[in-house]
């Protein structure tokens, strides 16, 4: 990676068709202040984002990330992002990173208070080195998320299926997990079902079947989980979505936290119960996730 990169984007209406958005981008110094103090992203966490993994200059799974950005924007009543414009910004950011693993972030905020437009920007930076975690895994504890499995449908203003900038709760859960001697957490609904991790999706293995909590609006539908499922299906495994009772967790024959930058981190223990590591499969999954994907 040649360094950090930041590009401010002047949002263009979703239905504006152009072949070039260069005049809507402004590269800024990634180390210098760039946002107004009136920004609602910083004042209220009012906006949406995406984190995209980049491997040797190739941004992974761009279309699913852009589709989820648009979905999150819709749930938050933000103007629909112009996807070709964002794709061009991603290409520009990806062209600035060197070899190895990086992360590109897309941020779409409600903008400055009483301002005319949302604020939008893209950044690129070196990724944390997750080699150790991908190999040796993480110990997790379960934590109550505080709402039942049907809360998303009953109370859409909770924005449960949107990837919003309000990650303070997710970060607090990670701190609580560490206080309890674990590396990460799995959220449970208060009616006893498995949800997701604070920054990852969860995939469980039972025999030759793989299962993940159904993305019914209460959790994010992970782009990495979709990729992993594609690979597992091609390998002849059975994959599925379901309501998973928390009591099933410790009976799993394998478990992974999966996300765009960390990729597949095997879970070695849940609430102190050891889970089989599945090392060859984990290596295979991470090799697949590091290969160029669109
Ligand atoms: N769930 C949550 C709450 C997340 O924050 C993330 C990623 O950041 C995921 C799931 C996994 O999504 P993806 O695989 O698209 O990175």
Q: What would the pLDDT profile of 41-85 be if each residue is shown by its tens digit?
A: 999 999 999 999 999 999 999 999 999 999 999 999 999 999 999
- For residue 64, which atom of ligand 1 is closest to its CA? 15
- For residue 167, which atom of ligand 1 is closest to its CA? 5
Q: What are the boundaries of each domain within the chain? A: 5-126, 131-289
Report whether CATH 3.30.470.10 matches the domain 5-126. Answer: yes
- pLDDT at position 147: 96
Q: How close is the Cα of 262 to the center of ligand 1, in Å?
A: 10
Of 30-39, 109-118, 231-240, highest mean pLDDT: 231-240
Residue 51 beta carbon below 6 angstroms from any ligand 1 atom: yes
What mean pLDDT, rounded, does the chain reach? 96
Q: How close is the Cα of 201 to the center of ligand 1, in Å?
A: 6
Report whether CATH 3.40.50.300 matches the domain 131-289. Answer: no
81-97 average pLDDT score: 97
Sequence-distant (≥ 6) Cβ neighbours of residue 42 within 8 angstroms: 35
- pLDDT at position 74: 97
Residue 215 beta carbon below 6 angstroms from any ligand 1 atom: no
> Please, what's the b/e burial string for 175-202 (b: 16 or more CB within 10 A of its CB; e: otherwise)?
eebeeeebbbbbbbbeeebbbbbbbbbb
Query: Is pLDDT at 1 greater than 50 in this prediction?
Result: no
Q: How confident is the model at residue 216 (pLDDT cuts 50, 70, 90)?
A: confident
- pLDDT at position 294: 84
Q: How close is the Cα of 152 to the center of ligand 1, in Å?
A: 17
Q: Which of 50, 163, 170, 189 to mutate to test the pocket of ligand 1 (most atoms within 8 A of CB)?
A: 163
Give the pTM.
0.97
- pLDDT at position 89: 98
Residue 270 beta carbon below 6 angstroms from any ligand 1 atom: no
Query: Is pLDDT at 250 greater than 60 in this prediction?
Result: yes
Residues 102 and 152: their CA atoms lie apart, in Å, by 33
Residues 66 and 259: their CA atoms lie apart, in Å, by 16
């Amino acid at each position: 990676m040649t360094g950090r990169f930041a590009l401010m984007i002047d949002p263009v209406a979703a239905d504006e068709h152009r072949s070039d958005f260069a005049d809507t981008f402004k590269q800024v110094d990634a180390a210098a202040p760039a946002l107004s103090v009136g920004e609602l992203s910083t004042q209220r966490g009012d906006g949406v984002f995406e984190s995209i993994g980049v491997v040797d200059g190739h941004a992974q799974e761009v279309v699913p990330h852009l589709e989820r950005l648009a979905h999150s924007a819709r749930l938050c009543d933000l103007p629909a992002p112009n996807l070709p414009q964002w794709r061009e910004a991603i290409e520009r950011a990806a062209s600035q990173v060197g070899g190895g693993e990086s992360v590109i972030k897309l941020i779409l905020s409600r903008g400055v208070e009483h301002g005319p437009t949302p604020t939008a920007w893209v950044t690129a930076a070196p990724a944390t080195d997750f080699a150790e975690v991908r190999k040796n895994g993480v110990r997790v504890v379960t934590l109550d998320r505080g709402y039942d499995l049907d809360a998303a449908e009953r109370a859409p203003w909770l924005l449960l299926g949107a990837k919003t900038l309000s990650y303070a709760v997710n970060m607090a859960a990670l701190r609580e997990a560490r206080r309890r001697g674990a590396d990460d957490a799995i959220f449970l609904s208060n009616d006893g079902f498995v949800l997701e991790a604070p920054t990852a999706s969860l995939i469980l293995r039972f025999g030759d079947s793989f299962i993940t909590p159904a993305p019914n609006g209460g959790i994010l539908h992970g782009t990495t989980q979709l990729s992993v499922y594609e690979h597992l299906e091609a390998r002849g495994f059975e994959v599925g979505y379901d309501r998973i009772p928390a009591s099933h967790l410790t009976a799993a024959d394998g478990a992974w936290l999966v996300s765009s930058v960390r990729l597949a981190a095997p879970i070695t223990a849940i609430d102190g119960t050891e889970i089989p590591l599945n090392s060859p499969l984990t290596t295979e999954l991470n090799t697949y996730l590091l290969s160029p994907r669109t």
